Amino acid sequence: MRITHSGVILTLMISGCIGGNGSGLVGIAGGNGNGNNAPPVLGFFVQPNSVNVGQVITPAVEVVARDSVGGIDSAFTGSITISLASNSTGAVLSGTTVARPANGIASFSNLAIDKVGTYTLETSASGAAAVTSTAFSITTVTTP
């Protein structure tokens, strides 16, 4: 059931079992992802993988915006920024580092790092706490 009040759409989901078994849980999610205009909670949907120096990190790094109850905030369209969090080598992160999410997920499909080392990425959005990826390595290109 959807209820619209003062420009906010609420979705009400009721679960239960007629036979008497089941949780009977009730959930409410707001049309803006959380119903109270709170900033999203960011997380890495696809963590960065190790690659050779200068190569694009594949698969694409993806960042998810979640609402206050942990659901994907598909209505969030604010800019999400990604950067190097640990960078003892002075490396440069190239590629598109600011993206707007589609259906709550921002994809960074052309990121590359120019120096060998072990790194983490950090992602942030206005009002949201920054989060850090798992560590990954950029390695020297080896020939067969």
Sequence-separated (6 or more) residues with CB below 8 Å from residue 47: 61, 133, 134, 136
Structure confidence at residue 38 (pLDDT): 77
What domain range includes position 70?
Answer: 38-139
User: Are 47 and 115 in a shared domain?
Assistant: yes
Residues 93 and 135 in one domain: yes
Q: What was the pLDDT predicted at 107?
A: 98
- Count structural domains, the chain: 2
What's the pLDDT at 39? Answer: 85
Q: What is the pLDDT of residue 34?
A: 44
44 and 7 assigned to the same domain: no
H-type alpha helices, the chain: none
**pLDDT for position 4:** 47
What pLDDT, in 10s, does the model give residues 90-124? 999 999 999 999 999 999 999 999 999 999 999 99
- Residues in the chain, pLDDT under 50: 1-10, 12-35
Query: Is the residue at 43 inside a domain?
Result: yes
Same domain, 133 and 77: yes
| In a shared domain, residues 53 and 92 | yes
68 part of a folded domain? yes
What beta strand segments (E) does 47-86 contain? 51-52, 61-66, 80-86
Q: Is position 144 within any domain?
A: no
